[in-house]
Amino acid sequence: MKRHVWRPLFVVVGMVVVILLFRLLYVPDDFGSQDRGYTFGYHRLSNEQEWKDYPAKYQDSSYCSGCHEDKSESVGASGHAMIPCENCHGAAFNHPEDPETLTIDRSRELCIRCHSELYMPSSGRNDIPGIDPSQHNAGIECSDCHNPHNPSLEDM
């Protein structure tokens, strides 16, 4: 081979060696997919307890129903029964100790995420009542007319 071919080849090999040395020094030995395979992705084994001790930011709706039975029953009887409370009310982290941590999203954009009229033939998306957001009461919030805990009821 000619000399002009060897030089770039040495540069590439040198870069690969530098990258592998950097990885060897920088990446912890217990980092990888471990014995459970790639299903759970890459993580450090020595970090698992650290994450178990980390307080959960999100709870499930049963956490909320302990104190808010009336709202839970109302939502449970509506079309929103499968939607976790935290989708609208934010993460329950540090609640009820600090009730101000929960913010209620009453924005039209939140409702439109699911209720904008879409045609998706192979999913259950067509079963969700949809509207044309530019035609249906454009400019006002959905919660001005609909009760989010039981959206079929008008005039809260």
pTM attached to this predicted model: 0.57
Tokens found for residue 80: 């929103």
Domain for residue 41, yes or no? no
Domain for residue 96, yes or no? yes
- Non-local (6+) Cβ contacts of 92 within 8 A are 58, 59, 63, 64, 85, 86, 102
Domain for residue 119, yes or no? yes
Q: What is the pLDDT of residues 39-52, one digit of tens each?
A: 666 778 888 888 88
Q: What is the pLDDT of residues 96-138, one digit of tens each?
A: 787 777 778 888 998 888 888 877 777 777 778 888 888 888 8
Domain for residue 33, yes or no? no
Which residue segment(s) compose the domain that 84 sits in? 61-154
Domain for residue 73, yes or no? yes
Domain count across the chain: 1
